[in-house]
Amino acid sequence: MGVTWSSYGTYLIFVVLVVLAPGPDTMVTLKNALAGGTRGGLLAIFGIGVGNLVQGTAVALGLGTLIVRSQPVFFALRWAGVLYLCYLGFQALRGAWRGNYHKLDEFASRATGFRRWREGFLSNITNPKVLALYLSVLPQFLEPGRSTPGDALLLAYTVVVLGTVWLLVLMALVHRVRVWLQRRRVRRSLDAVTGTALIGFGVALATEG
């Protein structure tokens, strides 16, 4: 094994700090947990997890480097992420502006499980920052000549597991205060914050060099 317990412990600390930092995955989870309840939140988290799994596996097996080096593919992925994050952000802002949550909840109750899953999956898979994070961090904890693809997969899947656990904890917290969060004024504020944050993430992604 090319990864020592000492280096893996250091890696765990780093991953926990990264996972706890708010990002698009956090906002998409909150959005779906508020609109679709526990089921909606779980499906979004599952979609995020699958996206994370795909990106982590691609990097561990060497495909991530090829994607990053292919400028047209990376460019397309980047702008797909920008547009999708902004689309989700405008949706949340529109809900905050209208504040007609009775009709919105009726519509949300008819939303398919696939739509919730898709929002989570697309928000993650179209975010090249996730891919870049894997590419910049994983090599720091792998030893040339000793580490195997299994070691790389272990590190990548650690991110997937810890990220999923954190989102589940977050959703559980939302569920505990769901009655308070469903108050119209509170919900409008949360939608405004969530929408602004998602658009902000999209703009930041678009303006990166």
On whether the CB atoms of residues 180 and 70 are closer than 8 A, the answer is no
pLDDT confidence of 191, banded at 50, 70, 90? Answer: confident
Closest CA to 68 of 122, 115, 132, 13: 132
Query: With 0-12 CB in 10 A as exposed, 13-18 as middle and 19+ as buried, what is 142?
Result: middle
Closest CA to 202 of 122, 140, 146: 122
For 37-63, the pLDDT digits (tens) are: 888 899 999 999 999 999 999 888 887
For 133-164, the pLDDT digits (tens) are: 787 777 777 776 677 788 888 989 999 999 99
- The answer, as to whether pTM is greater than 0.85, is no
On whether the CB atoms of residues 92 and 198 are closer than 8 A, the answer is yes
